[in-house]
Amino acid sequence: MSVATTPAERLAAFLARTPYIAFLGMRAELAGDEMTAILPFSPHLIGNTMLPALHGGVLGAFMEMTALAQLAVITGGPRPAKTIDVTIDYLRPGRAMDTYARAEIKKAGRRISSVHVEAWQEARAKPVAAIRGHFQTPTEG
Amino acid sequence: MVKPPDFIAAMTGSLDEQAARHMVTRTPQTEALGFQFVSISEARGAIRVPWRADLVGDPETGVIASGVVTTLLDHVCGLSIRAANAVPQGTLDLRIDYMRPARPQADLIADGHCYKLTRTIAFVRALAHDGDPDDPVATAQAAFALIGGGA
């Protein structure tokens, strides 16, 4: 396996190696070092057919994957970080439409990193959900 | 869109096993994840998610992705609220601690318990394990807003 060197290569490697990311249908784009994750709407993401609304677990999982992707972009080891804990806040119903997320690494530690993520749909200023999480830096080899 | 009677039963009123089974297996996301109904009892519920290659987080370990555990725990919390005869409107917050990786290619089972209901809020604890509930993979604590509570 070749070692990914640029942020774009590290992001592409993380997205491609994770089967669950393909299950969600998640993508991500880089503008310099700023990453935006995109979860295109798909009927299989619905958790409540009456509203309809995305499954809350999907929103939480999407934001957690966004945090892991951002960590892969910044730290760039061959293995993804491991989630220690996440606290998910649900702010508005996740509607049946595309969702976006950005992660902010509050602290990139040698062993443990702290990351905040917000997800939004129609307006960046009206997030649908947010997480705070701690992630364990993978050991090399 | 016409709603099937099972779906209405799953969302309102008291919860029998047929409606609980429908709630676990027939929403689009839980169907896509392959959730299986395990049981309900007073204010408690249990759900299984069989291991599948496309649900893996890290192909080097073959362990189900933590994102799947998030959805499993969120859903079992909702199920245990319904088993307490309340109707969840939506999750307010959900805190998940990952104790250890699941075993490679292991199914996961989640147990939820709605231990307190107020007029507006349900408080729930849940855990996910791969065979032994005393050695959980993850634990969760959640608060849900209830329908009809004016939240």
Mean of pLDDT over chain A: 92
Q: Locate the chain A residue with the closest alpha carbon to B98.
A: A84
Residue B150 is predicted with a pLDDT of 46
Give the number of A-B residue pairs with CB atoms closer than 8 Å. Answer: 126
pLDDT in tens, A114-131: 999 999 999 999 999 999
Contact A57 B90 (CB under 8 A): no
pTM of the model: 0.92
Q: Which residues contact B9 (CB under 8 A, 6 or more apart)?
A: B15, B16, B18, B19, B22
- The Cα–Cα gap between B25 and B37 comes to 7
How would DSSP label each residue in chain B? -PPPHHHHHHHSSS--HHHHHHHHHSSHHHHHHT-EEEEEETTEEEEEE---GGGEEETTTTEEPHHHHHHHHHHHHHHHHHTTT--EEEEEEEEEEE-SPPPTT--EEEEEEEEEE-SSEEEEEEEEESS-TTS-SEEEEEEEEETTTT-
Contact B58 A79 (CB under 8 A): yes
Shortest Cα–Cα distance, B94 to chain A (Å): 5
Residue B7 is predicted with a pLDDT of 53
* The pLDDT of residue B6 is above 70: no
Q: Locate the chain B residue with the closest alpha carbon to A136.
A: B98
- The Cα–Cα gap between A14 and B86 comes to 41
| Mean pLDDT on B110-132 | 97
Q: Which one of B11, B56, B73 has the shortest CB-CB distance to A19?
A: B56
Phi-psi region for residue B85, left (φ > 0), alpha (ψ -120 to 50) or beta? left
3-state SS, residue A30: strand
| Mean pLDDT on B78-92 | 94
pLDDT in tens, A31-57: 987 899 999 999 999 998 888 999 999
Shortest Cα–Cα distance, A139 to chain B (Å): 14
Q: Which one of A47, A60, A84 has the shortest CB-CB distance to B94?
A: A60
| Mean pLDDT on B85-90 | 92
- The Cα–Cα gap between B143 and B132 comes to 25
Least confident interval from A58-62, A72-76, B11-15: B11-15
For residue A14, the surrounding DSSP H or E stretch is helix A7-17
So where are chain A's domains?
7-136
Residue B151 is predicted with a pLDDT of 40
* Chain B partners within 8 Å of A20 (Cβ): 54-57, 65, 67-68
* The pLDDT of residue B3 is above 90: no
* The pLDDT of residue B8 is above 60: no
pLDDT band for A141, please (50, 70, 90 cuts). very low
Query: Which among A102-106, B11-15, B62-66 has the top mean pLDDT?
Result: A102-106
Contact B28 A47 (CB under 8 A): yes
CATH superfamily label, A7-136: Hotdog Thioesterase (3.10.129.10)
pLDDT in tens, B67-83: 999 999 999 999 999 99
pLDDT band for A3, please (50, 70, 90 cuts). low
Shortest Cα–Cα distance, B22 to chain A (Å): 12
Contact A61 B1 (CB under 8 A): no
3-state SS, residue A4: coil
What number of CA atoms fall less than 13 Å from residue B73's CA on the CB side? Answer: 31
Q: Locate the chain B residue with the closest alpha carbon to A18.
A: B57
- The Cα–Cα gap between A51 and B98 comes to 31
Shortest Cα–Cα distance, A72 to chain B (Å): 13
Cα angle: A32, vertex A96, A58; to 5 degrees = 65
3-state SS, residue A59: helix
Say if the ipTM goes beyond 0.90.
yes
Contact A88 B91 (CB under 8 A): yes
- The Cα–Cα gap between A128 and A17 comes to 28
What number of CA atoms fall less than 13 Å from residue B60's CA on the CB side? Answer: 8
Alpha-carbon torsion A78, A13, B104, A88, what sign?
A: positive
Beta bridge partners of A112: A136
Residue A32 is predicted with a pLDDT of 83
How far apart are the two ends of chain B, measured CA to CA in Å? 27
